Amino acid sequence: MTLTYLCTLPLPDSWFEQLADRMPDVEIHRHAPDSTPSAELLAEVDLLHTSEWLPEAAAVPALRCVQLDTSGVDHVRGTSLWDSEIPIATLGGIAPIPMAEYAMMAILELSHRMPLIERHRADRTWPTNAERLATLTPRELRGATVGIVGYGRIGREISRLAEVFGMNVLGVSRSGRPPVDAEKFDTGRRSVAEDRAELFAMDRLDEVLRRSDFLVVVVPLTELTRGMIGAQQLDLLPPGAHVINIARGGIVDESALLERVRDGRIAGVALDVFDDEPLPPTSAWWSEPNALVTPHVAGLAPQYHAQTLDLVVENLTRLAENRPIVNEVDRAAGY
């Protein structure tokens, strides 16, 4: 059985050459995302590999899988594809390693007061001994506790790295049970047996917040998680805690967070995602001395092309064999 594959992403020619070598029986089509494929082609597509370009479900009657180039699916909700029965697969599993390394980098930078140190560098000022002791003494990670809200593939890799530094790890997920690895693409490759985190269900989030010296937010953006870390939740954190958001804007109340950073209740933050992206030049976060601000880069994967190719080949193979796809979105859960 010949499958028809359509890609709307600007991947290099070599990527498609490798796909053709690995899947010689697949009919491969490429199309620019700013134009519309012919109705004849859309009617034949079995797997659509795309990001933002989403056709009406009625236009793709043969479609058996939408392979997204994103881990999040908030941009798909409300479309006719979302409302259809066509399986949707995410890019999940590509970024656990770089995102976990980013989270650990942020924990280290915040604990060693790097945002303030960088401010001294920008101003070309050398702090006095008293200033160094008062504002630049690092916080020791050994024995500190990191709470990871959204304990899936990325959270487990963060946990592995944090354990190396002697940190205690609390993981929060919907079920509070170890993640199920079946039908998931994962470049982190950490078995559940290796996982030593203390796990909690979402209804015990407050308990985790009270114990977290470092809070890492990596939960998907859904109707249930939108605004889940607000003023009330931030006030449960221990005095001098740090907050790291590598999930999506809209999950953490940015205004409440900024207020608590400025009054010292929260010692520092690392933010890679924001309510408004690109972050406007007028945003107060740019000039906040206790904030590490980055332009949504935590999930950039150095091995993106090779790993994405493996994922697409896996799902094409599964379609050819009439098996369930990997990384299928749970529409009821919203991710």
Q: Do 51 and 145 share a domain, yes or no?
A: no
| Percent of the chain topping pLDDT 70 | 96
In a domain, 327, yes or no: no
Residue for token digits 């560098």?
A: 121
Name the token pair of 326.
């990997």
Q: Do 314 and 171 share a domain, yes or no?
A: no
Beta bridge partners of 49: 7, 67
Q: Domain limits at 147? A: 96-293
* pLDDT at residue 80, rounded to an integer: 97
In a domain, 272, yes or no: yes
Beta bridge partners of 200: 172
Beta-carbon count within 10 A of 82 CB: 18
Task: Write phi, then psi, for 47 (nearest 5 degrees).
Answer: -130, 120
223-261 tens-digit pLDDT: 999 999 999 999 999 999 999 999 999 999 999 999 999
In a domain, 17, yes or no: yes
Instruction: Please say whether the beta carbons of 150 and 219 come within 8 A.
Output: yes
pLDDT above 90 (res 3): yes
* pLDDT at residue 179, rounded to an integer: 66
pLDDT above 60 (res 191): no
First-to-final CA distance of the chain: 31
Contacts of 28 (CB under 8 A, 6+ apart): 5, 7, 16, 19, 20
What average pLDDT does the structure give for the chain? 94
* pLDDT at residue 168, rounded to an integer: 98
Q: Do 137 and 261 share a domain, yes or no?
A: yes
In a domain, 63, yes or no: yes
Per-residue pLDDT, averaged over 304-324, amounts to 97
* pLDDT at residue 77, rounded to an integer: 93
CATH of the domain at 113: 3.40.50.720
Quick check: pTM over 0.85? yes
Concatenated DSSP letters of 266-301: EEEEEES--SSSSPPTT-GGGG-TTEEE-SS-TT--
In a domain, 330, yes or no: no
In a domain, 326, yes or no: no
154-170 tens-digit pLDDT: 999 999 999 999 999 99
Q: Do 128 and 182 share a domain, yes or no?
A: yes
Q: Do 258 and 157 share a domain, yes or no?
A: yes
196-217 tens-digit pLDDT: 899 999 999 999 999 999 999 9
Active-site residue list: 248, 277, 296
Determine which of 57-61, 182-186, 306-310 has the lowest per-residue pLDDT on average: 182-186
* pLDDT at residue 257, rounded to an integer: 98
Q: Do 205 and 107 share a domain, yes or no?
A: yes
Q: Do 84 and 100 share a domain, yes or no?
A: no
pLDDT above 90 (res 183): no
* pLDDT confidence bin for 188, thresholds 50/70/90: low
Q: Do 52 and 192 share a domain, yes or no?
A: no
77-132 tens-digit pLDDT: 999 999 999 999 999 999 999 999 999 999 999 999 999 999 999 999 999 999 99
Q: Do 259 and 199 share a domain, yes or no?
A: yes
* pLDDT at residue 318, rounded to an integer: 97
Residue 327 burial (C-beta neighbours within 10 Å; 0-12, 13-18, 19+): buried
* pLDDT at residue 266, rounded to an integer: 98
3-state secondary structure of 260: helix
* pLDDT at residue 193, rounded to an integer: 53
pLDDT above 90 (res 30): yes
In a domain, 106, yes or no: yes
Residue 129 burial (C-beta neighbours within 10 Å; 0-12, 13-18, 19+): exposed
- Domains held by the chain: number: 2
Q: Do 7 and 76 share a domain, yes or no?
A: yes
* pLDDT at residue 33, rounded to an integer: 74
* pLDDT at residue 228, rounded to an integer: 97
Cα dist from 63 to 135, 147, 166, 313, 316, whole Å: 58, 40, 48, 16, 12
* d(C-alpha 172, C-alpha 58), whole Å: 39
In a domain, 109, yes or no: yes
Q: Do 286 and 311 share a domain, yes or no?
A: no
* pLDDT confidence bin for 34, thresholds 50/70/90: confident
* pLDDT at residue 89, rounded to an integer: 97
- Rounded to the nearest 10°, the torsion over CA 203, 206, 208, 213 is 160
Q: Do 159 and 239 share a domain, yes or no?
A: yes
User: Letter for the amino acid at 316?
Assistant: L
